[in-house]
Amino acid sequence: MVTLTDAGRAATGAVHPGLDAAVRRHFTDKLSAEEIETPAAVFDRL
């Protein structure tokens, strides 16, 4: 799983201001917490 630091989030927001909202709208908001955790657990093991 990828985690952005505060500095990375600020840099990303400066370059693409709507990115956080777009990711939430198209991906995160459509998944349950369990659906988000499942691939995270798989990727942690790899």
Looking at the domain assignment, is residue 23 inside a domain? yes
Looking at the domain assignment, is residue 12 inside a domain? yes
Looking at the domain assignment, is residue 37 inside a domain? yes
Interior CA angle at 37 toward 32 and 31, to 5°? 25
Query: What pLDDT score was predicted for residue 1?
Result: 64
Domain count of the fold of the chain: 1
Query: What pLDDT score was predicted for residue 25?
Result: 93
Question: Which helix H or strand E contains 20, and what residues bound it?
Answer: helix 19-26
User: Going by C-beta distance under 8 Å and a sequence separation of 6 or more, which residues neighbour residue 31?
Assistant: none
Looking at the domain assignment, is residue 18 inside a domain? yes
Average pLDDT over residues 29-35: 91
Looking at the domain assignment, is residue 36 inside a domain? yes
Q: Look at residue 29 and tell me whether its pLDDT is greater than 90.
A: yes
Domain of 15 in residue numbering reads as 6-45
- What distances in angstroms separate CA 15 from CA 5, 12, 19, 29, one per listed residue? 15, 5, 9, 23
Looking at the domain assignment, is residue 1 inside a domain? no
φ/ψ (deg, to 5) at 43: -65, -30
pTM: 0.52
Average pLDDT over residues 11-36: 90
